[in-house]
Amino acid sequence: GQQLNQSPQSMFIQEGEDVSMNCTSSSIFNTWLWYKQDPGEGPVLLIALYKAGELTSNGRLTAQFGTTRKDSFLNISASIPSDVGIYFCAGQGKNNNNDMRFGAGTRLTVKP
Amino acid sequence: NAGVMQNPRHLVRRRGQEARLRCSPMKGHSHVYWYRQLPEEGLKFMVYLQKENIIDESGMPKERFSAEFPKEGPSILRIQQVVRGDSAAYFCASSPNRGNYGYTFGSGTRLTVV
């Protein structure tokens, strides 16, 4: 099946620093999504990308759909304590079904 | 203005018992997806249902697991004869139509098998 490799696994940063994480796939995706999961909660959609090369921002978050359609990155600028959580990339392939494949997540810790 | 509602939030079962997890999608959403999350891991797709139909169950274990989404009422994920390895968080998501990738997730049911 489609494999998503997300890195880094975890990050410990100081408040105010910028953060970058990425996902790569062994195969092509039609859609890339980035979710954030707080402890004890379900994932919340942050950004959705639908076209190769697309660059989309949502406040301090910026994500890009790689031109090869096999990768995506998420940047968070000027991190704040509430950015703490697990960030997941997810990809949707060409199959007719509607399942999404998730990366293993990046655990972000922000020190005030 | 309810989102995706899952209950119970926490469920403890002894080995061999049955677990029933319920998911009520957002109002107006007719597509439901179930995912399983093991500790320190991402979400693994299990099954995709539309009202009264299973569309894709490629992620469901072949035995003991079943899912339904009846015409009336919530979607149910049923695990028979639970084993310790079934302990995980189970998340349900819904979307208004096929091809809408902005799934809305519930808060999950944390199943612990003792």
Q: Is A44 on the interface with B (CB under 8 A)?
A: yes
Taking only the tens place, the pLDDT of each residue in A83-101 is: 999 999 998 876 545 667 8
What average pLDDT does range B18-27 have in this prediction? 96
Nearest residue in A to B40, CA atom: A104
Strand pairing class (B109-113; B53-56): unpaired
Check A99 against B42: CB less than 8 A apart.
no
Q: Which of B89, B69, B68, B56 is nearest to B29 (CA)?
A: B69
What average pLDDT does range B48-67 have in this prediction? 93
Please give the residue that has the higher pLDDT: either B99 or B112: B112
Q: Which positions in chain B touch A72 (Cβ < 8 Å)?
A: none
Is the per-residue pLDDT at B100 higher than 80?
Answer: no
Q: Is B26 on the interface with A (CB under 8 A)?
A: no
Pick the residue of B101, B105, B109, B112 with the most A CBs within 10 A to test the interface with A by mutation. B101
Rounded Cα distance, B10 and A109, in Å: 26
User: Are A62 and A77 spatial neighbours (Cβ–Cβ below 8 Å)?
Assistant: yes
Q: For chain B, what is the mean pLDDT? A: 92
pLDDT number for residue B4: 95
pLDDT number for residue A49: 93
Q: Is B112 on the interface with A (CB under 8 A)?
A: no
Amino acid sitting at position B99: G
pLDDT number for residue A48: 92
Sign of CA dihedral A44, A50, A54, A56: negative
Sign of CA dihedral B36, A76, B100, A5: negative
Q: Is B104 on the interface with A (CB under 8 A)?
A: yes
Nearest residue in B to A48, CA atom: B102
Please give the residue that has the higher pLDDT: either B57 or B101: B57
Beta bridge partners of B54: B49
Bond into B74 cis (ω within 30): no
Taking only the tens place, the pLDDT of each residue in A2-13 is: 578 999 999 999
Taking only the tens place, the pLDDT of each residue in A23-80 is: 999 888 888 999 999 988 999 999 999 999 999 999 999 999 999 989 999 999 999 9
Q: Is B25 on the interface with A (CB under 8 A)?
A: no
